[in-house]
Every structure is written in structure tokens, then in C-alpha cells.
Structure 1
């Protein structure tokens, strides 16, 4: 029996030696060890240049750095209706991209946005994923486009930046997320009546509203309706004023809605 134990120890030592994994490597994840290489693979070069890494997320890895815009392969770069978006979709090479100093893609329904993300090897974020990536974005009209007469080119103000490094999550254009709201429920969770945000859950979704603005939530507003199936928009748009922001949620918008104030970004 003792021989078997010693043999097992020797065999284990040989395996560790063969793989080049020392005890210090296992703890620090560095050097030439297998574990070190795995960690390096995850932490270095994880996302393409148009996306940022969100290391705290478990359901996704990267999110678009800027709001989505039409790629150069799209027939129409300036859109005036959801029909223009559909004409772009009819061109199989057309997809969304995320670049600085370009006007975001607007006049897009939720399903059109989902298709465009898919063509780029991405998808729409969930409400929770959007919030995780957007935390830290200033709720300030001097930094984010919430009190103007029109859309900014993406990344126009470097101060409108989240803690993870995405631009314009607050204001500029509302952003589609993939979640449905059914009879004023988010999943199985009942949502509060329309009003000013007074409390949120861990996804930044309002769980309590009030009739007066709440400074703790930057006077952000929650839009809802008791009956019906709706999509969900987050962040506000260029003319939201104080109603828009990190906690602003529009939960009474039909998924087929497509206006100059609605855009999207993608995750993967």
C-alpha cells in the first residue's frame, strides 16, 4: 500500500514536471505553465479593437466600444426609415460595426438589430449585460448627449465613458436590449408603475418608482404599461433631459419601433 502511495506521488510529480507547472505557477498563473498560458489567452487580445473586455461578466466577454453603425459594405450609410435598414439587410455583406466619429445606426427595429449583430458574429445584450457594461457612465448633460436637438457622432465627447470603457451608453440614442416585457413583467418579476426611478435591482431595472424625481437615481424615469408585450430600451436619447440616464428604461416600446432616437450595440 505504501508503495502505491509513493508511486502515485512520483507519477504526479512527473506529470507536473512534464507540463512545466510549478507550485508558484499554479498560484500566480505566470511563466510558461499551462495555467499561465490559459490565463494569458483569456486576458490578452480577447476582444477586437472595436469592442472592450468586461472581465466581471460571465455570460459575455466583449461589448461594442461605440454604438453600432453601418459598415462600408452597406448600400446606405445614412438612414431615414426602417425600410432603409431593410434595404441594407437585403445586401448580405452588410453588417454593423462600431467605430468612433460615425453617426450611430438608427431607424432599426429590435429584430433588425439582432440580425445585424448576428452577421457580425455578435448578439444583442440582455438588460443585465448592458447595465454591467454601462455602470460608471456619467448622468450629466455636459458629458453625455441628453439635452440637445440631435445625435452626436459616436465617441464625440470622451467624458461620456463607462467604467468598462464604452461610450455614449447614456443619451445620444436609446439602445435595444434583447429582453421582452410581458404585461409589465420582466421575466417573472413584476415591474413598478411608470414613474421616476426610486430603486433598482442588480440589473439596474427599476423595482420601485415615485411620482417625483429622485436625486439618488439622477432623476431618471421609467416608462411602462400594464398590458401588452413590449421590447426594452435603455439609456435615454439626445432629448431625454434628466429623464434619461443609466437607470432610464423604456419598457413600453413595440419591438417593431424604429425611430431616429433608437439604436443598438452588440456583445459576444
Structure 2
């Protein structure tokens, strides 16, 4: 028999004697987590706009069902119809699961205020994680990702990089706690850096904790804008943002004089001021052993 004691709670042990069980047996542990006092309090404090009369399911219950389905690995809302008949889900969650049409109506009726409430829920969760981690450093990774869509969803667009129609959201995560700090949904045809400064400013005004004494932001070349760099400098935040070689003006720097040793990792640096920058900044050059070169401001 295989048995494992949870590191988070030594009173709980998971065992497997080889008997056939449901592939969703992990729901027992997930249910324990969601029903713990701290987590249940977080979700019970979510205030959705709800003008329905005599609803069978509260909106928070529908939100939890969606989260459960995603954690289980189900990516399609249609699975809700299967789960409504699943004995294991009924036993674990002590209620019938909502049907696919109910889930779809929940999603389609979410308001901007509801989305803000979900962002606030995420901030509360992250705040608890920060308190328990006691990290004094915050390493923010700013990036964009891509969600392919189908049908006629609102504000979708064609992305020439991914050659698909969908969304191109901004996302910011912390590398130390592996938590999502903030997300902003954008049309698929939005350039990587568009709105990034306002996105970061929004997080700095609401998401920082006094325990973070050192904050570093990392970003790709799509975020190498003077507005963002000035915003970070004005808030005493360190940053490393990649620059494209072709974006470096040869009138201001001679790239042929950089230190390179074939087969070795070498570093170099120089002062550089682009025409759109308000001042010169240090640019670090990384040459890897395979001949690739990166420029980081």
C-alpha cells in the first residue's frame, strides 16, 4: 500500500491499496482545501452582481465549480453535463453540479464589476501567500500570452505572430511564489507592449505589500518603452528589459567592438540613449556559448 502524509497537514494521509477508484479521486483533497476556514471565507466574501430571482446556484458556487473543473483538467464547459451525473462529485461536493447551460449563462452575464471583484479575490489570495512566504523580494515577470477562440466572441482579433484569432492578454507573475499578480484581457491584434505602462501602474497602486523591500521587473523586448522604464524608475523598482539588436541606433553605439569569445559566455556593457529616451541607460550584453547575443537594459 502506498501512503503519503500531507506536508501541510500531518493529520491527513492519502493511501492507495490498488483498488479501482475514480480518476477524479483527488477531489477529496481539493474539497478539503476549498472548505477550509481561510479559503471558504475568501470566496464567501466575493460580492457578485446578482439580479436573478430564486437562483438554484449562487454565483460563487458556479465560480467554484468552474475552478474545480479546470483543476481536474477539464477545459470544456460541456463536461459539466457529465459531472452532474458523476457519483463521486455528488458525494464529495454534497450537491448536484450545475449543467453546461447554467455555466454558460454565468459566464455571459459577468459584468465589469464582477471582473473587478475576481481581481480583488486574486489580490486577497496573493496577499495571504505573501504573508506566509515572508519574502522581502518581489520578482515580477511581465509577459503576454495567447488564447485562441472560436465562434464570434467579443473583442477578438487576428494575431499575426500566432496566425490565429483570439485574445492577447497581459499577465504579470511573481517568480518567487509562482503566483499570478495581475491579468488584463486584450484583443488578439493588440501589440505586446500596448497598455503595459498603465497595466503596471495599476498593480503598483494596489498590489504592493510593505514587506517587499526590493522589487524587480523582468520583461521582453516588446515592453522596452520609455514610459514604462520611467514609471519603474519613478517607483524605485529595478528592471531588466530585453532590447532588440535592430532597435539599437548605430549612430550611438559601435556593436562591432563588443567582447565576444567563441564557445564561452561573456558579458559586456555600454551606456546608450535612444532618441526617444530622456536619458542614457546602461545596457548589458550577454553572449552565450552558442553565439547568441542578448541586449538588456
Structure number with the higher helix fraction is 2
The structure whose Rg is larger is 2
Which of 1 and 2 has higher RCO (CA within 8 Å, sep 6+)? 1
TM-score (norm 1): 0.23
